[in-house]
Amino acid sequence: MVIDALLPWIRWLVAFHIMSVMAWMAGLFYLPRLFVYHCQVAVGSAESQRFKIMERRLLKAIMTPAMCASLFFGVLLMLTPGGVDWHAGWWHTKLTAVFCMFAFHGCCARWCKEFAADQNRHSEKFYRIANEVPTILMMIIVIMVVVRPF
């Protein structure tokens, strides 16, 4: 069976999953911080144009490919026999937090488009608060996977 063929590769799958999640998280931590700084410059200025380029490249060249790789390797791990106890409560909490992380990525993409069109609707304070969301989600995910409290 194809799924059983994944067993010899489990450590490689875990390694690539961790690396892709780290790259994705780095972007999720940094992009909202760029938005904070972008709020501080004048619309149409050279600085604003520089932030637009940085934000777009971070989102398109690093975050989205890393997110896709995280999803790919995560699904392969889920399909590996014994990889997931589908009845464990920690698993459902982790999966919910992961879906929230995907939603946050979508919000970042939308905010990036708004900045690109000079139509940002949020304050610097909003982005400072938003910058904490991936940290909280990451903490939940790591605790669920490592501690498995329930």
- CA nearest 111: which of 23, 43, 46, 36? 36
How far is the C-alpha of 59 from the C-alpha of 142, rounded, in Å?
23
pLDDT higher than 70, residue 2: no
Q: 37-78: per-residue pLDDT in tens? A: 999 999 999 999 999 999 999 999 999 999 999 999 999 999
> What is the model's pLDDT at position 86?
84
Count of domains for the chain: 1
Q: 6-49: per-residue pLDDT in tens? A: 888 999 999 999 999 999 999 999 999 999 999 999 999 999 99
Q: 112-147: per-residue pLDDT in tens? A: 999 999 999 999 999 999 999 999 999 999 999 999
Using a CB cutoff of 8 Å and minimum separation of 24, what contacts does 115-119 make?
A: 115/35, 115/38, 115/51, 115/52, 115/55, 116/52, 116/55, 116/56, 118/43, 118/44, 118/48
As a whole number, mean pLDDT of residues 73-102 equals: 92
As a whole number, mean pLDDT of residues 101-106 equals: 98
Q: Flag whether 52 is marked binding.
A: no
Q: Flag whether 60 is marked binding.
A: no
CA angle, 4 then 6 then 7, to 5°? 75
| Token couple for 130 | 């938003």
| Token couple for 92 | 């459902």
Which residue range forms the structural domain that includes residue 103?
Answer: 4-80+87-147
- CA nearest 65: which of 7, 31, 118, 24? 24
| Token couple for 27 | 């972007």
- CA nearest 37: which of 137, 134, 131, 124? 124
> What is the model's pLDDT at position 150?
92
- The pTM score is 0.93
